[in-house]
Amino acid sequence: MTTPRVRKIRIAGRRQKMNFTILTLFPEMFEGFRENSIIRRAAEQNIISLKPVNIRDFTADRHKTVDDSPYGGGCGMVMKPEPLAQAIRQAKQNCPQAKTILMTPQGRRFDQKLAEEMAGEKSLVFVCGRYEGIDERIVSLMDAEISIGDYVLTGGELAAMVIVDAVTRLLPGALGGADSAAEDSFSAGLLEHAQYTRPMTFEGESVPEVLLSGHHQEIDKWRRENALIRTFLKRPDLLKNRHLDIWEMEILKKWRSEIETIIQNQTVSGTDSLSGRQQKRSDHCLGCHQSGSS
């Protein structure tokens, strides 16, 4: 039986640099992020550009006001439409083919499939909201609204970093290896297989022998099965929505057969897991307590 090959992520014909523009009130948050190993290397190799833009630069008053109280009352503040609209239009003028993304809990849930879709774009502009959100009239300037999860953050900056990192990993050359991104969790619809490094034995636990065999086909087979096991145990929901290939179906059937054999070999008396002898003793003790005996 041959092991199916992992689907490789390739963006056909990509030669143009991916431009990330981040519209934010706190551009300094991205200084450390740009020094991240993968992001820094991708920028140095001209695979990406990452440009934080301060929305306050597009205000018209001396106080650089970017927020105001909401109409209708309520707590908190709302980001004003004028400076944000100008910042978006300037970003689109610099990169006419860019897609504008609003980071919001109300958006489409971000996942690996969406990361692959975004990696096929030429430029992305991220709008990072703050306070209670942005003026609704700005939403019409967006191409998409994206959420990284059902929880609330102080602003959209961290969410934008998550997406930039995930998308950058998919761009050819960013990881240094042609297959690196294809082997990550979720890239093949499964969690990643277990990883091991030196020493060979740690606190009494050894590295699986197959990984030391040098037999690449057997190693690949082990990793595929291990990824399937980990997905089944940790994220079974991924398998429910996955179109299983023939090899995966064979593995799952083998597990089912082994589990059924284990169950059939158990000698169970009654509805609990006690043996018949243990059940009688338990019933006897229960009777003693019910009769008031000690």
Burial-class residue 88 by CB neighbours within 10 Å (0-12, 13-18, 19+): buried
The two beta strands, 67-68 and 78-79, are antiparallel
Active site residue 83: no
The answer to whether the beta carbons of residues 224 and 3 sit under 8 Å apart is yes
78 DSSP 8-state letter: E
Please tell me the distance from the alpha carbon of residue 270 to that of residue 283, in angstroms, as a whole number: 12
Q: Which of 105, 157, 224, 248 is catalytic?
A: 105
Cα(262)–Cα(248) distance, rounded to whole angstroms? 21
The answer to whether 198 and 157 have CB atoms below 8 angstroms apart is: no
Residue 73 CA, distance from chain mean position: 37
- Only one residue has tokens 């050894």, namely 206
**Residues near 130 by beta carbon (within 8 Å), at least 6 away in sequence:** 25, 67, 79, 154, 155, 156
Set 183, 184, 192, 225: catalytic member: 184
Q: What is the dihedral of CA 198, 199, 201, 205, to 10 degrees?
A: -50
Residue 179 tokens read as: 């297959």
Task: With beta carbons less than 8 A apart as the criterion, state whether 192 and 180 touch.
Answer: no
242 catalytic per annotation: no
Note if 132 is an active site residue: yes
Indicate if 208 belongs to the active site. Answer: no
Which of 132, 135, 183, 192 does the annotation list as catalytic? 132
Q: Note whether 194 and 205 are within 8 A (CB).
A: no
Longest Cα–Cα distance of the chain, Å, equals 89
Residues 6+ apart with CB under 8 A from 137: 81
Catalytic residues: 105, 132, 169, 184
